[in-house]
Structures are given as structure tokens and as C-alpha cells.
Amino acid sequence: MPTDLAEAGDQLSCVIQRGLTGRWNRRAASPPAAQRLCVRRPEATLSRIAVVLALGLLLSVQGCFVAPLRVAETLDVTVVDAEDGAPIRDATAVYFVCDIHDFQCRHATLVRTTSNARGDLKIRGRREWGVWFPVPGGLPVPNHFIAIWAPGYSAFVFGQYRDTVESIRRRVPRQDVLEALDSIPSDRSSSDPSLNPKEELRGGKIRLRKEAT
């Protein structure tokens, strides 16, 4: 009796077709397996969810976890003139994010963009799924380097862990990064933290001083 019920369930959950034409094959008393296209049952989906949850529980017991962790923060600023507060159009930004465990920044993110007519400049952050371990080297620790400048203005340069143009150039061999660093003006007086505190990098204003003449 249980066997009959199982077979009946299989018949209800499977569509018997002739090859891949989509037509019924009424003649075949016992069609080959290639002609049986089974409809995925809800139970199968629930089983997969249960497996994923069990895997997550097992990983947590082992001291690790699966989650989308932040590997790059969002840059959201308005670039303005330090004297009169007027928005600066076409200001250039170099946005460089490298995990501190990736010493030579071979897997770093590099973005170059410009501000719009209102001086707005935004680069979206990013999260990354992974199996993480709460030990040194087992979690992402993004290190941000940001430079913003415009023609006729000095550059604003921010290094999250005290990185400078020169220190990055000494350790990073990537040619695209070196070219981006070379484009940053030597006058970086807009980096003064009293003028542009780091809190301004999230929805604030970056004030650029005009170049000394």
C-alpha cells in the first residue's frame, strides 16, 4: 500500500512528455526516464532551505559565519569652493579601497569619476558574501584612500590608515593605481582636517582651496 501511494504521488508530480516536443505520449505504457519531466515539489525547495540553514548553524558552531560584509564604504560628497561655497563642477575623484591584508593591493577597487554640475560626487560602497572567521585575517578590513581636486584648486587627500600618495606608490605595483596617483596635484593643502574633517565624506562638503599663485 505505501508503494502504491508513492507511485501515485510520482504520477501527480511528473508530466509525461514525448521528448522535448511538449506533446502527450499516450501510447507509451512505460515511458523512458528521458521523457519524464518532473515538476519541482514545494517539499524539495523546503529541503534545500533546511540544508542551507543547517550549514549556517554548523558554520556558526565552528566559529565562522556566512554574511555580506562591507568591503568598501560609500563616498557621498558635494565639492565646493572653500571661499564662497560655490559648487565645483567636473572635480576629479580617485577612490581606492584595499583590504589591509592585501598588502600589495592586487585585488583593490579603483574608481575615477567627476562631480556633476551641482558639485555632487557619489561612489557606491559594496558588500561581499563570504565565509568569515572572527580572527585576524578572517574578516574584511577595508582601507580607503580618496583624493579630490579640480583645475585651479589644491587637492584634498584622505588616507584612512595614514596612507599617503608616496606610501601607496612604494608598495603597490598595479600600473592603473600608479597612474591614478601620478594624476593627483602636488599641492594638497585642502587636506587640512580643520577644513575638511573625515566626517564630511558621508553626505557632507569637501572644500577646495584655490592653488597658490
Single pTM value for the model? 0.69
pLDDT of residue 168: 96
pLDDT band at 185 (very low <50, low <70, confident <90, very high): very high
Rounded Cα distance between 95 and 19, Å, is: 55
CATH of the domain at 102: 2.60.40.10
The 8-class DSSP code of residue 191 comes to G
Half-sphere exposure of 51 (CA within 13 A, CB side): 6
Helix (H) or strand (E) holding 181: helix 175-182
Domain region containing 13 = 2-65
Q: What is residue 184's three-state secondary structure?
A: coil
Please, what's the largest Cα pairwise distance for the chain? 96
Q: Using alpha carbons only, give the angle 171, 174, 176 rounded to the nearest 5 degrees.
A: 130
Domain boundary among 37, 65, 93: 65
Assess whether 109 and 34 both reside in one domain: no
Structural domain count of the chain? 2
* Domain membership flag for residue 213: no
Question: Does residue 10 surpass a pLDDT of 50?
Answer: no
Residue 51 pLDDT class (50, 70, 90 cuts) = low
Answer yes or no: do 42 and 87 share one domain.
no
Mean pLDDT of the chain: 81
My answer on whether 74 and 158 are in the same domain is yes
Task: Answer yes or no: do 146 and 49 share one domain.
Answer: no
Helix (H, G, I), strand (E, B) or coil at 77: strand
Residues 122 and 108 both lie in one domain: yes
Q: Are residues 125 and 138 in the same domain?
A: yes
